[in-house]
């Protein structure tokens, strides 16, 4: 079963559709191993349920000032989330329309930090330590090939997608995996009389004033249906093909991440004392994702080299929801592990 994390799903959708679907909180948000100046293996741990544990871990790494800076960043994230999140189920708002919703000094600081200036300026202003900066910057890189001071601000857009969900930015585990969600959608569709056709390749969409025409192939037969509304969830170049219009590739649309799902007999043990495998892998385990390191990996990627070391993060969903495993695998102690690799543009492969 495909396991992933969910944040950008408004509860109103599941409520109105009456979907039999739930998500579960991860007790740990993230773990980042490091070696201190004395050569002792330790880890930066951010908890979703124990703020004091998070504070102690950050302070041990880089001091009280970085903890305060991290808390300020969270306040700014919460502020911008309250502005943007409620609009996601509304017609797309203009920049000025969103800005008119700002009311407090924190709102205006958040707008400046995440909308007007490159994300790197905010990270470097609030946080000093390279490891903590890198951890926070990953939300601006998951899915795009970019760097903290990218003038296109695509890193800002990526960051906002990661931190505005339900006004908290928390990423939760879907109980039963993503298949549970798609199964719930399919069941609701069928109860509403929807006909689902598998193995159908969309060929062309012919826009019209009243009813649009959609041609598609299923097996060796071609079909055409009329539709008042046509919803297309596809990459820009596929959308252009469906409408039979010319498309100019956009560099930022290139895929730049890789993903692997692994089934393990047991989770790796940790070098850091006092940290269990469950602590380390329940949340996102960050590897080679220091702030400066990811700058170097980006530079290698744009030079068409596979980054070495390659920044990535891994996480174990079955620690939060073991229903994605069969009863036999659960009994034997198996776990799932997902790896998400950054700065891996499609052109390198």
- Rounded CA-CA distance 107/116 in Å is 13
- Output the pLDDT for position 347: 92
Closest CA to 112 of 78, 83, 145, 76: 76
Closest CA to 65 of 128, 8, 120: 128
Say if CB 140 and CB 119 are below 8 A apart.
yes
- Rounded CA-CA distance 281/324 in Å is 16
Helix axes 64-84, 130-137, angle to 10 degrees: 10
Burial class (CB in 10 A: 0-12, 13-18, 19+), 81: buried
Per-residue pLDDT tens over the stretch 117-161: 999 999 999 999 999 999 999 999 998 999 999 999 999 999 999
- Output the pLDDT for position 3: 59
- Rounded CA-CA distance 106/102 in Å is 9
Provide mean pLDDT across the span 220-229.
95
- Output the pLDDT for position 2: 53
Q: What's the pLDDT band for 250 if we cut at 50, 70, 90? A: confident
Which residue is associated with the tokens 């219009």?
245
Per-residue pLDDT tens over the stretch 6-45: 899 999 999 999 999 999 999 999 999 999 999 999 999 9
Per-residue pLDDT tens over the stretch 266-312: 999 999 999 999 999 999 999 999 999 999 999 999 999 999 999 99
Integer CA distances (angstroms), 251 to 144, 221, 234, 241, 294, in order = 10, 36, 17, 18, 19
Residue 346 pLDDT > 80, yes or no? yes
Q: What's the pLDDT band for 248 if we cut at 50, 70, 90? A: confident
> Strands 284-287, 258-264: parallel, antiparallel or unpaired by DSSP?
unpaired
Which helix or strand (DSSP H or E) is residue 160 part of?
Answer: helix 154-163
- Rounded CA-CA distance 242/215 in Å is 9
- Output the pLDDT for position 144: 94
Cβ neighbours for 264, distance < 8 A, ≥ 6 positions apart:
334, 335, 336, 337
> Strands 28-35, 41-47: parallel, antiparallel or unpaired by DSSP?
antiparallel
- Output the pLDDT for position 254: 86
> Strands 28-35, 284-287: parallel, antiparallel or unpaired by DSSP?
parallel
- Output the pLDDT for position 348: 92
Per-residue pLDDT tens over the stretch 157-208: 999 999 999 999 999 999 999 899 999 999 999 999 999 998 999 999 999 9
């Amino acid at each position: 079963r495909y396991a992933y994390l969910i944040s950008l799903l408004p509860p109103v959708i599941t409520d109105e559709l009456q979907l039999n679907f739930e998500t579960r909180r991860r007790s740990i948000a993230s773990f980042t191993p490091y070696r201190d100046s004395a050569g002792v293996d330790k880890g930066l741990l951010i908890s979703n349920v124990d703020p004091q544990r998070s504070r102690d871990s950050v302070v041990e790494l880089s001091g009280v000032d970085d903890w305060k800076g991290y808390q300020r960043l969270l306040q700014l994230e919460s502020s911008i989330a309250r502005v943007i999140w409620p609009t996601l189920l509304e017609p797309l708002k203009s920049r000025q329309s969103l800005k008119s919703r700002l009311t407090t000094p924190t709102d205006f600081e958040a707008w400046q930090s995440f909308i007007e200036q490159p994300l790197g300026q905010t990270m470097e202003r609030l946080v000093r330590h390279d490891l903590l900066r890198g951890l926070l910057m990953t939300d601006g890189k998951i899915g795009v090939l970019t760097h903290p001071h990218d003038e296109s601000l695509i890193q800002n857009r990526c960051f906002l997608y990661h931190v505005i969900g339900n006004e908290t930015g928390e990423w939760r585990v879907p109980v039963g995996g993503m298949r549970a969600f798609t199964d719930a959608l399919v069941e609701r569709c069928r109860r509403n009389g929807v006909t689902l056709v598998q193995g159908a390749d969309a060929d062309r969409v012919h826009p019209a004033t009243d009813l649009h025409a959609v041609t598609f192939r299923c097996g060796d037969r071609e079909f055409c249906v009329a539709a008042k509304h046509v919803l297309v969830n596809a990459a820009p170049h596929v959308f252009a093909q469906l409408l039979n219009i010319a498309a100019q590739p956009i560099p930022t649309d290139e895929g730049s991440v890789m993903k692997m799902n692994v089934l393990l007999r047991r989770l790796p043990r940790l070098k850091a004392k006092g940290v269990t495998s469950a602590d380390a892998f329940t949340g996102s385990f960050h590897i080679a994702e220091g702030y400066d390191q990811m700058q170097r990996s980006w530079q290698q990627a744009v030079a068409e080299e596979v980054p070495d070391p390659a920044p990535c993060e891994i996480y174990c969903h079955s620690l939060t929801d073991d229903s994605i495993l069969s009863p036999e695998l659960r009994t034997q102690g198996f776990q799932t592990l997902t790896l998400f690799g950054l700065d891996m543009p499609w052109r390198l492969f």
